[in-house]
Amino acid sequence: MSLGQRLALLAIRLQEPQRVASFQRLCGVEVPLGSPAAGEDAETEVRGAPGDPRRRARQPGSEDSPSPVKPDCCGAPNGVRNGLAAEPGPTGPRRAGSLRRNSLTGEEGEQFKVSNLPLYYLFCFGTELGNELFYILFFPFWIWNLDPFVGRRLVIIWVLVMYLGQCTKDIIRWPRPASPPVIKLEVFYNSEYSMPSTHAMSGTAIPIAMILLTYGRWQYPLIYGLILIPCWSSLVCLSRVYMGMHSILDVIAGFLYTILIFIIFYPLVDLIDNFNQTYKYAPLIIIGLHLILGIFSFTLDTWSTSRGDTAEILGSGAGIACGSHTAYNLGLSLDPSLHTLPLAIPPLTVTLFGKAILRVVLGMTLVLFVRDIMKKITIPLACKLFSIPCHDIRQARQHMEVELPYRYITYGMVGFSITFLIPYIFSFIGIS
């Protein structure tokens, strides 16, 4: 057998949903006894994986012949038990998981049972490191409290990695791991395709970028960074398998894809940031480029959360870049000059801590206010402009004519607020 054939066989094995289900059971996740889903999982185990000698032969049209995976009503390219929750069974000493609901599609998660609560909470935390709540706290915290220079470049890398990852998903179009045998502990991103894992890409890109951007600029032992990178990346990657959202191959591909993107594009990050800040017509080019990228990436055969996420990523990147351009030209940029490097980490005092907390509380309040106001303005306005019924907001948001301007403008204003409006307010009230 040639090397290519061996690699292809390995890839097929790493993509099997049975391996995801086995990892979930190893970590203490199972379907409650007595539920219909439990019977399906047991039957799937008897059948085995493709190529398994224990697998029963099936005739086309027979009762146990598998039906092809079809998209659900919202375009989900996955076999998720019809989006319905299994009936809860006896839990014994274990803890039954609560149902999760996708606010955009109405899809409900499955009932599950966990026997290892520390692992459950650890992997829930790991998967949140790739969700909107984390991003909307993490990037502003860097820009307001730690180092705007590093924060801006982190955003550039994040936008690039996530955009390429989302587009690659929609080109390859591999479905999520089949359920059963996999237990879906999360449903929000279930309508998206699976390969590569953008959670794994983000979870790899952010810690690597943090170390590359800060080491030599700040004084700290390199060993801290070398410990942080594998811990952060492996936690996020394993959490996606634990949640039943990705195969092992998906997360490995996401990790390797991120390394390739870094090799090609990381040398351009300084050039991009300097262009965003100093070039006279940078805002026009930034807005136009991000809009074009968003329009060309919206070629999905069915609706999924991927389209909105892509617009959200591009809008945030454009807003942060335009805000940094405005702040730089108005003299609000506080980046230290090069002759002061490397920077010493200041001692943590009550005053420093108090100002940091005040900036976070006030800043996040303003960010959420801007986001909610822009949502209430852009969605009805887009519906009116394109004659789309607005009585059902969830359905209206699934039209590209509404989703693109709503996400792009809303998160563009959020990004602009993070790098210009809110730092300006901080400077005005003396907590900059």
Q: What is the pLDDT of residue 110?
A: 64
**What is the Cα–Cα distance from 384 to 51, expressed in whole angstroms?**
54
85, pLDDT greater than 70: no
Residue 412, pLDDT > 90, answer yes
Q: pLDDT higher for 14 or 1?
A: 14
Statement: residue 322 has pLDDT above 90: yes
Both structure tokens of 254: 């996401």
Q: Which residues on neighbouring strands pair with residue 343, listed in sequence order?
A: 218
Checking if the pLDDT of 42 tops 90, the result is no
- pLDDT tops 70 at residue 362: yes
32 contacts: CB under 8 Å, gap ≥ 6: 38, 86, 87, 88, 89, 90, 91, 96, 111, 112, 113
Domain residue extents for the chain? 9-39+95-267, 279-334+354-432
Q: What is the mean pLDDT of the chain?
A: 78
Q: Let me know: does 111 contact 96? Beta carbons within 8 Å.
A: yes
Lowest mean pLDDT among 29-33, 122-126, 143-147, 259-263: 29-33
Distance of CA 52 to the CA centre of its chain: 34
For residues 368-387, give the mean pLDDT.
87
Report the Cα 219 to chain-centroid distance in Å.
30
Please tell me the predicted confidence (pLDDT) of residue 400. 74
Residue 246: active-site member: yes
Structure confidence at residue 153 (pLDDT): 94
Q: How many CB atoms lie within 10 A of CB 20?
A: 28
Residue 360 has pLDDT above 90, yes or no: yes
**254 pLDDT more than 60:** yes
Structure token pair of residue 414:
């959020």
Judged against a pLDDT cut of 70, whether residue 336 lies above it is answered with: no
Nearest of 418, 400, 408 to residue 378 by alpha carbon: 408
Please say if the pLDDT value at position 19 is more than 60: yes
- Residues 389-402: tens digit of each pLDDT: 777 677 777 677 77
- 108 pairs with which residues across the strands? 101
Res. 319 pLDDT band, cuts 50 70 90: very high
Summarize the confidence of residues 368-378 as an average pLDDT.
Answer: 90
C-alpha distances in Å from residue 356, one per residue of 330, 334, 350, 416: 23, 16, 10, 20
**Predicted local distance difference test score (pLDDT) of residue 387:** 79
Specify the pLDDT at position 109. 58
Mean local confidence (pLDDT), 348-357: 89
pLDDT digit string, tens, across residues 153-211 = 999 999 999 999 988 888 888 888 887 788 888 877 777 788 899 999 999 999 999 99
Query: Which secondary structure element, helix H or strand E, spans residue 46, and what is its range?
Result: helix 36-47
Q: What value does the mean pLDDT take over residues 283-297?
A: 84
E-strand ranges in 110-198 read 113-114
Contact 179, 81 (CB under 8 A): yes
Burial class (CB in 10 A: 0-12, 13-18, 19+), 148: buried
CA 269 centroid distance within chain: 21
Q: How far apart are CA 80 and CA 13, in angstroms?
A: 21
Q: Per-residue pLDDT tens for 115-159? A: 888 888 999 899 999 888 899 999 999 999 888 999 999 999 999
Contact 331, 423 (CB under 8 A): no
Rounded CA separation 300/357 (Å): 42
Mean pLDDT to the nearest integer, 397-414? 84
CA distance readout (Å), 163 to 40, 167, 229, 307: 37, 6, 22, 10
Catalytic residue among 199, 290, 339, 391: 199
The pLDDT-based confidence of 53 (bands split at 50, 70, 90) is: very low
How many Cα atoms are found within 13 Å in the side-chain-facing hemisphere of 16?
17
- Percentage of the chain modeled with pLDDT above 90: 35
Q: Rounded to an integer, what distance in angstroms lies between the CA atom of residue 365 and that of residue 404?
A: 25
Catalytic (active site) residue 339: no
Is the bond into 77 cis (omega within 30 degrees of 0)? Answer: no
9-39+95-267 under CATH 1.20.144, yes or no: yes
pLDDT at 37: 47
Most confidently predicted of 76-80, 235-239, 380-384: 235-239
Instruction: Provide the 3-class DSSP secondary structure of residue 192.
Output: coil
CA distance 399 to 410: 16
Q: What pLDDT does 239 receive?
A: 92
- From the centroid of its chain, how far is CA 54? 38
Quote the pLDDT of residue 44: 43
Closest CA to 79 of 90, 71, 87: 71
> What residues contact residue 77 under an 8 Å CB cut-off, 6+ apart?
69, 71, 173, 175, 176, 191, 193, 302, 304
Q: What are residue 149's phi and psi, to 5 degrees?
A: -60, -50
CA distance 149 to 327: 12
| Predicted confidence (pLDDT) at residue 87 exceeds the cutoff of 70 | no
